């Protein structure tokens, strides 16, 4: 059968769009944020962390009281309109001291996270990328330090260094990066054989550039999760050290110091222990809820 041009007919192009729907892609971080928003406990934890941070920064300035000035005639007063959390055995406003203690406890948690993000990430990244003998030597050092319970290690360091805020920073800085180093090393060992790493090496990229621009950024999920979960651990460690007398010194008021003072008068004035204990508990729960939410939202296997 012979086909001629007359057998074909021109079809006019439609003036209206074929479909009004357009497909839009979702990035990894947008999808992670969407899944984090669906986690009510994680969002509640994030909101409380923001509120307690703002209260710690601005609260003591607007309370009308000093965290250190004594007022013996008003000692051991129960919660009232003048003193919302009551007063301690020296007449100091307990709410002001709790808010001031939040500064110390949160600053220690932030310091621990910064140590994790610098020492732990770099140490684990170098060990995982170098491999071989360097990796074995570096990780055996970590295993030796990891063999001692971290809390016992910090207590021994504080006994040697003495109480004080700077000494707490130093003691935490010597031990709290170990877990991060092991996690980052495991991630680097997994992804350093990927094709994009080989392509970067073939283009002449240095080892430092590959590590800082390719490997560590692609391990950001576990790094963020570990950092978030390390903050409440550092806060609890500081509270425990201050509770047993190895933390900050008077008249500074961390949550551990306030809890230690409240235990003495627990039978007569239980509110003096209640509020710092609640602050420690709710803050630790908030960070744990946020860390669990980040772990679920940043897991690529849970993307839909």
pLDDT, position 14: 57
Structure-block tokens of residue 288: 């744990």
pLDDT in single tens digits along all 304 residues of the chain: 566 777 666 766 555 554 544 445 567 677 778 888 888 998 999 999 999 999 888 877 777 787 777 888 888 888 888 888 888 888 888 888 899 888 888 888 888 888 888 888 999 999 998 888 999 999 999 888 888 787 787 888 888 887 777 888 888 877 888 888 999 998 898 888 888 888 888 888 888 888 888 888 888 888 888 888 888 888 888 888 888 878 777 677 788 888 888 888 888 888 888 999 999 999 999 998 998 888 888 765 555 5
Structure-block tokens of residue 36: 């984090």
139 near 151, Cβ under 8 Å? Answer: no
176 near 230, Cβ under 8 Å? Answer: yes
Separation of alpha carbons 36 and 303, rounded Å: 12
> 29-56+84-302 is classed in which CATH architecture?
Orthogonal Bundle (1.10)
The residue extents of the domains of the chain are 29-56+84-302
- Give the containing element (helix H, strand E) for 261: helix 255-264
Separation of alpha carbons 271 and 294, rounded Å: 34
Structure-block tokens of residue 198: 């080989």
């Amino acid at each position: 059968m012979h086909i001629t041009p007359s057998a074909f007919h021109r079809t006019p192009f439609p003036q209206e769009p074929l479909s009004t729907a357009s497909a839009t892609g979702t990035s990894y971080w947008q999808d992670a944020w969407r899944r984090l928003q669906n986690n009510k406990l994680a969002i509640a934890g994030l909101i409380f962390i923001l509120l307690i941070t703002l209260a710690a920064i601005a609260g003591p300035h607007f309370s009308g009281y000093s965290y250190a000035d004594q007022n013996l005639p008003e000692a051991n007063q129960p919660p009232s309109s003048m003193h919302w959390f009551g007063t301690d055995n020296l007449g100091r406003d307990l709410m002001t001291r709790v808010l001031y203690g939040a500064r110390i406890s949160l600053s220690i948690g932030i310091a621990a996270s910064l140590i994790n993000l610098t020492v732990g990430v770099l140490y684990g990244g170098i060990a995982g990328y170098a491999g071989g003998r360097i990796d074995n030597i570096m990780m055996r050092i970590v295993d030796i330090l990891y063999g001692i319970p971290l809390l016992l290690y910090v207590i021994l360091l504080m006994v040697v260094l003495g109480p004080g805020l700077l000494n707490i920073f130093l003691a935490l800085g010597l031990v709290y990066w170990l877990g991060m180093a092991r996690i980052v090393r495991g991630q680097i060992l997994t992804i350093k054989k990927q094709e994009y790493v080989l392509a970067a090496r073939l283009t002449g990229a240095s080892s430092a550039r590959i590590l800082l621009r390719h490997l560590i950024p692609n391990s950001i999920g576990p790094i963020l999760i570990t950092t978030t979960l390390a903050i409440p651990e550092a806060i609890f460690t500081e509270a425990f050290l201050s509770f047993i007398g190895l933390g900050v010194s008077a008249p500074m008021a961390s949550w551990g110091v306030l809890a230690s003072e409240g235990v003495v008068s627990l039978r007569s004035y239980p509110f003096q222990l209640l509020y710092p204990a609640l602050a420690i508990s709710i803050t630790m729960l908030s960070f744990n809820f946020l860390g669990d939410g980040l772990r679920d939202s940043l897991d690529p296997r849970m993307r839909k």
